[in-house]
Amino acid sequence: MKLQALRKGAMLVTVSALMIFVITMLGWFAFGCYISDGGRGWNVPIREYSKALTWDGTTYTFTGENLLEKDRWMMLLNPQGRVVWSLRKPEDVPEQYTLTDVASFTRWYLEDYPVRCWVRPDGLLVVGSPKGSVWKHDIAMNTQDLLQAPLWFAGIFLLALGSVLGLAWLTVGNWFRQDQQVRDAARSNWINGVSHDIRTPLSVVMGYAAQLEDAPDLSPLHRQQASAIRAQSQVIRDLVNDLNLTMRLDCEMQALRKETLRPEAFLRQIGADFLNGGMGSGFNFEIDLPEIPLPEMNADPFLLRRAINNLLTNCVRHNSPGGLIRLGAKTAGKWIVLWVEGGTLDDSTETHAPQFLEPDGGAAHGTGLRLVTQIAAAHGGKTEFHSGTPYRCELWMPQK
């Protein structure tokens, strides 16, 4: 699902980039067409005008009327700066020019008229346009800078393109995240609702089964059957609890309430509760803590207790009566390793928690262990599961 969403996002961004490129090119083309005046305006090379102006020995003849727009004018200055020929020259344009005047108007304006100049053997040809019709600017640039200009333009273009694509990527990602959040919330609420509805009838089943288990007037067989109902109801209860929590962790809806914990005290309390609650009855239980005090951890005690309890329950399930269950902790570099050992699990050599959801979305075996992995990950830790005899589960937690 995520891969498909990413593919869609990538495609959308690529199409957007292509569209930006095509629209820019079309825009430049349209602008070119708009400013084009059929070769008669400012853009007509002045060389063409010069070619059209000829001297027959007595007089000048201009044959390029079709190239020159009606509001444009021309004049030819001789080497002494005097106007020797002109066409539609405005009255406010002088007849004589000094070297300084020529130097100025060739670069800027002549009496505010934008002009272009062309050097000919017989003088200087000047073509003028109406005042305010053309903007002129003198550009001078260091050659080295000029050579670098394309690189600068390309870099700026790529930067702009990258920014646009990045923004588009973020926007698209945000849409998908929002969509995912809505779906996650719906899924979590649904599971929460279903598990809520299961809890009350399960209480009745567990309660009556536990009472029948201790009823003196029932036969041993019936008491055994009641015990099985009670035990299986507890399995369902654990599954419902795990399913709820795993979903909340998956959807990042479970807030971590971290506290500073002393690993020894924390594990001793879990061990005591394990034995006090009767979970460990029929098993040999040992706690293995180093003599040197362990460093403190910063963790959510409720979640971490849940994780360790799941590991202990897992050991009970894979153990035989009279078997040994060990709970312990040690340090490994910057980690505190909390571990539970006992029972046998040799049907695989897995080092990761088994998958908990089948492809069709149904709950599969191993929800409890998957939850342990999720809780470790939520604290920035990890888990390791070592199959064999004894079956060993390790929860690696960062030190405070």
Beta pairing, strands 324-332 & 382-386: unpaired
DSSP three-state, residue 203: helix
For residues 326 and 382, which CB has a smaller minimum distance to other proteins in the complex? Answer: 326
Residue among 72, 93, 115, 244 that touches other proteins (CB under 8 A): 244
Residue with tokens 């706690």: 287
Binding residues for other proteins restricted to 299-358, rule: CB under 8 A = 302
Residue among 47, 82, 177, 262 that touches other proteins (CB under 8 A): 262
For residues 87 and 289, which CB has a smaller minimum distance to other proteins in the complex? Answer: 289
CB of 267 to other proteins, least distance (A): 9
- E strand or H helix at 276, and its extent? helix 263-276
Q: Which two tokens stand for residue 82?
A: 């005097």
Is 189 an interacting residue with respect to other proteins (CB under 8 A)?
no
Task: Pinpoint the alpha helices (H) of the chain.
Answer: 2-35, 46-52, 99-107, 143-213, 220-250, 263-276, 301-317, 367-378
For residues 128 and 368, which CB has a smaller minimum distance to other proteins in the complex? Answer: 368
x-or-dash string of contact with other proteins, 198-237, rule CB under 8 A: -xxxxxxxxxx-xx------------------x--xx--x
CB 267 within 8 A of CB 338: yes
Other Cβ atoms less than 10 A from the Cβ of 326: the count is: 17
For residues 151 and 265, which CB has a smaller minimum distance to other proteins in the complex? Answer: 265
CB of 154 to other proteins, least distance (A): 55
CB of 203 to other proteins, least distance (A): 4
Peptide bond into 390 cis (omega under 30): yes
Q: Which two tokens stand for residue 238?
A: 């654990």
Other Cβ atoms less than 10 A from the Cβ of 188: the count is: 17
x-or-dash string of contact with other proteins, 286-305, rule CB under 8 A: xxxx---x--------x---
Beta-bridge partners for 119: 124
Residue among 51, 89, 187, 268 that touches other proteins (CB under 8 A): 268
For the purposes of burial, counting CB atoms within 10 Å of the CB of 298, is it exposed (0-12), middle (13-18) or buried (19 or more)?
A: middle
Residues near other proteins (CB under 8 A) are 192, 196-197, 199-208, 210-211, 230, 233-234, 237, 241, 244, 254-255, 257, 262, 264-265, 268-269, 271-272, 275-277, 286-289, 293, 302
